[in-house]
Amino acid sequence: MPEGDTVLRTARRLDAALAGRVLRSADLRWPTLAAADLSGQVVREVVARGKHLLARTDAGVTLHSHLRMDGSWHVQRTPPPAGAGPGRAPRLRGGSAEGVRAVLVTDDWTAVGHRLGMLDLVPTAEEDGLVGHLGPDLLADDWDIDDGSTDGAGAAVAALVADGDREVGAALLDQRLVAGIGTFWMSETLFLRGVSPWAAVRDVPDVAGLLARTRRMMRAAADAREPVQTTTGDTRPGRNRYVHARSGLPCLRCGTTVRVAPLGSGPTARSAFSCPVCQPGPRPTDDGRPQAPLGHDRRGGAPARRRGTSPRA
């Protein structure tokens, strides 16, 4: 699932293309939005909130989207009316036409949403109904780990510490506590801090420092010229991360085999990758069976992507 850094990059790209421009048309291919008409509205801004995207217009409405596992937004030049040819629609980049869920067209740019996991249209004043449950956004511009405020960093640290009995990996993934972290940054940050994902939050030293380091890495990824997540400083496939998706491969630091195991239980269970030597502490019983890298990429590179599903009616 795209994490906060990817969503922030997407928001910046959409904002650069759409903000201040009039929507010539807005084709929302979603069962509940088929009759919606945004044409003529001016896009004020596109912002990220954790893993959510909010496109706000001058009419006081917000188009909310979530990428879930396979969603993406692509931006392309809008061809002149004659360029599409009579009776023909312009070719949409980024995937097959059947996967398109939204097409936002201005005179200059067209934004195409593919395989979006969520798409909603609400009054901007009612955005909290969609994102109000989220904890502080780790990548927000006003985040300050040392400001002592009751929101932002201060609230996130307090929420994590208050959930002291919980596994730290699961707590970091809980968007109600802090928004934006997914399994990649959770696994990599805990490796770099030498902490087991299954350790209780109360046993983790310097929770504020843990969040600060995660934020620095995610902001660096969001600001990088190329959209490559790396925690090693190396962008080559198989060398750009220490443990995430590298189950069954040697730890890049000590050579021990990286392992993957469930984190949490029930429908919210996730996978956590770790090195048993570099990250001592509690972990599930391991039967020692051979494990393949996520996506069966034995180089340890990016996992294979899974096909998305159609939205529910």
* Residues involved in catalysis: 2-3, 51, 270
Spatial distance between the Cα atoms of 154 and 148, rounded to a whole number of angstroms: 6
User: 164: exposed, middle or buried (C-beta count within 10 Å: 0-12, 13-18, 19+)?
Assistant: middle
Please state whether beta strands 43-49 and 109-114 pair in parallel, antiparallel, or not at all (unpaired): unpaired
Nearest to 10 by CA among 139, 143, 156, 174: 139
Please state whether beta strands 72-77 and 100-105 pair in parallel, antiparallel, or not at all (unpaired): unpaired
Spatial distance between the Cα atoms of 179 and 153, rounded to a whole number of angstroms: 11
* Cα distance from N-terminal residue to C-terminal residue, the chain: 22
For residue 186 the two structure tokens come to 């959770």
Question: Helix (H, G, I), strand (E, B), or coil: what is residue 10?
Answer: helix
Is residue 43 within 8 A of residue 57, CB to CB? The reply is yes
Is residue 200 within 8 A of residue 167, CB to CB? The reply is yes
Spatial distance between the Cα atoms of 220 and 5, rounded to a whole number of angstroms: 8
Question: Helix (H, G, I), strand (E, B), or coil: what is residue 172?
Answer: helix
